[in-house]
Amino acid sequence: MKLTRLSLRTLLAASLATLAFGACAQEAAIRKNLAERLPNLPKIEEVSKTPMPGLYEVRINQSDLLYTDAEGNYLLQGELIDTRTRGNLTEERVNKLSAVDFKALPFKDAFTIVRGNGKRRIAIFEDPNCGYCKRFEKDLSKIDNVTVHVFLYPVLGPDSLTKSQAIWCAKDKAKAFEDWMLRNIAPTPASCDSSAIQRNLALGKQHRITGTPTSFLPDGTRLPGAVPLEKIEQALANSK
């Protein structure tokens, strides 16, 4: 018996519908079982298949990832590594989920440091009292042809806010910042409208910036922590 084109299309449509129904039912089972068995688990934002057969990703708190089986009987916390490519699938997924729209960042609440032709761009949230930020700035100062947008992000205590206000209110913000971060010359206390700093803190909370330095590239990529010089160069080269 020969199948007509119409019957083939009908069969294919029915198969796809069955698969879609099965996926929905599986997701529903995972959500139901985890919610009932782990009532303190934060709200599940998304359930999706991973490249590993039988393993599902459970996304909570916007970009926190857990893993479970098809019934939600077991829960794993950790990183999923593809041994063939040596790629960290968990890290790749989190970076994608935590990416930002670079063009939408409020650059009026930042100041810029331009080196060379300034063609490459990077935005950094930094606390002036953060030791890792100072180390990061020393590496960053060696990179040419870059525009650095600095968002003051004082999260380490009252003195961080005081120093941030002094830097923001300085006649030359970039110089005051680099004097402190690179040469340990404290900024001169000054007063002005420093509401930009509070907006930065609110923005950081919105984007779940929990540590400094945290950098963003024009393609939305997030670089958490004081990444080494080679990685900064590579990230800037890859960013479009």
Residue 25 has what pLDDT? 78
pLDDT tens digits, 180-196: 999 999 999 999 999 99
Do 88 and 113 share a structural domain? no
- The domain tally of the chain equals 2
Last residue of a domain, one of 75, 97, 119: 97
Residue 8 has what pLDDT? 62
CB 100 within 8 A of CB 207: yes
pLDDT tens digits, 80-97: 999 999 989 998 888 788
Strands (E), 85-119: 87-88, 111-115
User: Residue 97: is it exposed, middle or buried by C-beta count within 10 angstroms (0-12/13-18/19+)?
Assistant: middle
Do 156 and 226 share a structural domain? yes
Which residue ranges in the chain fall short of pLDDT 50? Answer: 1, 19-20
Residue 7 has what pLDDT? 66
Distance CA 184, CA 230 (A): 25
Do 210 and 108 share a structural domain? yes
Do 134 and 40 share a structural domain? no
Domain extent, residue 136, equals: 102-238
**How far, in whole angstroms, is CA 84 from its chain's centroid?**
25
Do 145 and 44 share a structural domain? no
Last residue of a domain, one of 79, 97, 115: 97
Residue 10 has what pLDDT? 65
Do 151 and 226 share a structural domain? yes
Angle at 68 between CA 220 and CA 31, to 5 degrees: 90
Do 112 and 231 share a structural domain? yes
Where residue 112 sits, what CATH number does that domain have? 3.40.30.10
Residue 1 has what pLDDT? 47
pTM given for the model: 0.72
Residue 22 has what pLDDT? 54
Do 126 and 89 share a structural domain? no
Do 233 and 151 share a structural domain? yes
Residue 186 has what pLDDT? 95
Last residue of a domain, one of 97, 130, 154: 97
